[in-house]
Amino acid sequence: MSSQISRVLIVDDEPVMRKVLRSALSAVGYTTQEARDGETALGTIRERPVDLVLLDINMPGVGGLESCRRIRKIAPHIGIVMITVRDQEDDKVEALEAGADDYVTKPFLLRELLARVRAVLRRTHIDEAPQSRFLRAGDLEVDLDSRLLRKNGLEIHLSPKEFELLALLMRHPGVPFTHSRLLRGVWGAEYGGELEYLRTYVKFLRKKIEADPATPAYILTEPWVGYRFRDPSDPDSTSGRLPGDDR
């Protein structure tokens, strides 16, 4: 990531929450701005682009989801992290479908929030850089040109769809993918609801790349949402088994 100080826009209708978030982000070196609603946030971004938007999902007026869609249209490359409510699991899927890069659920720990912010900012910078033919994470190496997977230097056979699914996940380490996004991305636009189909291929992949498929280290389940690829070398990545894992 660039040494330039990243600019974060905090969008929340609660002044106390904006103050807490601003203090936490400023303390670790980010430049911050505040907006009390979606309309103000859109105006701020048009006047002075930011690197990341921290966006509450529940706001009066133009809500968080619609604000996310509009922000993504005018600033397609900035990071967006949405704050959702834990007991509204559909919010997570809707946030990702609206264009968010990631989400945190209330109540959350500040260190978790900061880790997600760092990870999204790092990924947005990586996406702007020239892409290598190789993807690496832990013991895995994918050669995109030759369509080969190696684990600890040994070649592992993958079917074409297994390869495409793994490559899509590895290209976006730490990114939560909804089931429908993975299905459309690998199998085509006409797919989206074939959940058992996707689960079957994830099960195949885990048997081939995980030391213990029952406790995956690479392909983690995002409960009620989809999957997230973990790079063990990334200090900000989610580790271990996620609660509610529906493998």
* Residue extents of the structural domains in the chain: 7-128, 134-229
DSSP state for residue 45 in the 8-state scheme: H
Quick one: the chain helix, strand, coil %, rounded to 5? 40, 20, 40
Q: How far apart are CA 37 and CA 177, in angstroms?
A: 27
pLDDT band at 127 (very low <50, low <70, confident <90, very high): low
Residue pointed to by tokens 């509450």: 56
Position 2 pLDDT exceeds 50? no
Pick the CATH number of 134-229 from 3.40.190.10, 1.10.10.10, 3.40.50.300, 3.30.1310.10: 1.10.10.10
pLDDT at 49: 87
Q: Find where tokens 């409960």 sit.
A: 223
Contact between residue 55 and residue 100 where contact means Cβ atoms under 8 Å apart = yes
In angstroms, rounded to a whole number, what is the distance separating the alpha carbons of residues 41 and 50?
10
Residue 121, burial from CB neighbour count under 10 angstroms (0-12, 13-18, 19+):
buried
For range 60-76, the mean pLDDT: 91
How is residue 239 annotated by DSSP? -
pLDDT tens per residue, range 142-197:
999 999 999 999 999 999 999 999 999 999 888 899 999 999 999 888 887 788 88
Q: Which fold has domain 7-128?
A: Rossmann fold (3.40.50)
- Would 7-128 and 134-229 be classified into the same CATH topology? no
- Judged against a pLDDT cut of 50, whether residue 3 lies above it is answered with no
Question: Percent of the chain scored above 90 by pLDDT?
Answer: 62
In this predicted model, what pLDDT tens digit does every residue of 187-231 receive, in sequence order? 888 887 788 889 999 999 999 999 999 999 999 999 889 999 999
Model confidence at 126, pLDDT cuts 50, 70, 90, reads low
Rounded Cα distance between 116 and 222, Å, is 15
As a whole number of angstroms, the distance between CA 237 and CA 175 comes to 9
* pTM for this predicted structure: 0.75
The structure tokens listed for 11 are 């969008």
The reported pLDDT for the residue numbered 238 is 52
